[in-house]
């Protein structure tokens, strides 16, 4: 029965629940492991890179301690998103042909803008540096998908036998085949035809902060992200396309803290 519930509704419920819980939580500050209370730095900014099961991306975050254990966080992700059926091909009949993904209609990029929180699970032993701090995190918010049409360089026969010219054309599965595709056209082709798909996302995971200085941030994190949209995203021509993406990810973040 759950299958009949649109993924977008489940993500909306989860994202709004995350925001509500972060805003409502007002636990007293636990300073038992902090030593001098004044050393707690309330503000931070981080940037990082991530690899996920369907591509790669970058991340920016701005956070503020609500208590010693809880931080409110705003984040921005920009990630590429591939279809599981994408495989690189080359035209076997022409030397020096360029690689392309046969059947790919659109490249898909996601921009996420979200809000959430980080909770300390294990404090580091020395707040001034040393040791590892373990945190859990949950974020949710807006997921904007950008689908750009794929353009290819197509081999067109000339009046001279066994000679061809190249034509840059938008991929059409009804007339472009592996034997008449020379390769992928420049990425800039098709930018003016990009379509936007609004959706929602929910993200959860763990992070491990190991910076040796109190005012620095160095952290490795891992988790899962679900992006959901109101309709199928047309990435591949000869495979099932879905209105959602489920990705496992691992990332590294760097940043600064201040009072």
- Report the candidate in 176, 156, 153, 173 with the shortest Cα–Cα distance to residue 164: 156
Domain residue ranges in the chain: 2-26+37-85+107-146+192-258
For β-strands 55-65 and 43-52, DSSP reports them as antiparallel
What pLDDT does 39 receive? 64
Per-residue DSSP letter, 53: T
2-26+37-85+107-146+192-258 classified as CATH 2.40.160.20: yes
Q: What distances in angstroms separate CA 257 from CA 77, 88, 215, one per listed residue?
A: 20, 43, 5
What would the two tokens of residue 120 be? 């300390």
Q: According to the model, what pLDDT value does residue 28 have?
A: 44
Tokens of 15: 């994202």
Q: How far is CA 57 from CA 68, 134, 161, 196, in A?
A: 30, 23, 46, 18
| Backbone dihedral angles phi then psi of residue 24, each to the nearest 5 degrees | -85, -25
Predicted TM-score (pTM) of this structure:
0.86
Burial (CB count <10 Å: 0-12, 13-18, 19+), residue 62: middle
* pLDDT in 10s for each residue of the chain, 259 residues: 344 456 566 666 665 565 555 555 544 444 444 444 446 789 999 999 999 999 999 999 999 998 889 999 999 999 999 999 999 999 998 888 999 999 999 999 999 999 999 999 998 876 665 689 999 999 999 999 999 999 999 999 999 988 899 999 999 999 999 999 999 999 999 999 999 999 999 999 999 999 988 899 999 999 999 999 999 999 999 999 999 999 999 999 999 999 9
Looking at residue 251, what is its pLDDT? Answer: 98
């Amino acid at each position: 029965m759950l299958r009949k519930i649109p993924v977008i509704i489940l993500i909306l419920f989860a994202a709004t629940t995350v925001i509500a819980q972060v805003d409502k939580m007002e636990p007293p500050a636990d300073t038992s492991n902090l030593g001098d209370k004044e050393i707690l730095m309330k503000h931070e900014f981080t940037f990082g890179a991530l690899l996920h099961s369907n591509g790669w991306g970058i991340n920016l975050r701005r956070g503020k301690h609500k208590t010693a254990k809880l931080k409110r966080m705003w984040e921005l992700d920009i990630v590429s998103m591939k279809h599981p059926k994408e495989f690189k091909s080359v035209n076997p009949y022409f030397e020096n042909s360029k690689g392309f993904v046969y059947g790919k209609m659109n490249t898909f990029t996601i921009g996420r803008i979200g809000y959430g929180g980080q909770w300390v699970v294990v404090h580091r032993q020395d707040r001034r540096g040393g040791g590892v701090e373990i945190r859990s995190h949950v974020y949710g918010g807006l997921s904007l998908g950008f689908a750009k049409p794929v353009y290819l360089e197509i081999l067109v026969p000339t009046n001279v036998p066994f000679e061809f010219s190249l034509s840059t054309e938008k991929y059409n599965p009804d007339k472009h085949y592996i034997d008449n595709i020379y390769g992928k056209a420049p990425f800039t082709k098709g930018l003016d035809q990009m379509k936007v798909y609004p959706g929602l996302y929910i993200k959860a995971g763990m992070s491990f902060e190991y910076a040796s200085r109190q005012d620095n941030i160095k952290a490795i994190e891992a988790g899962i992200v679900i992006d959901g949209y109101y309709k199928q995203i047309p990435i591949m021509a000869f495979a099932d396309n879905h209105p959602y993406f489920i990705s496992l990810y691992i990332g590294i973040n760097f940043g600064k803290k201040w009072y």
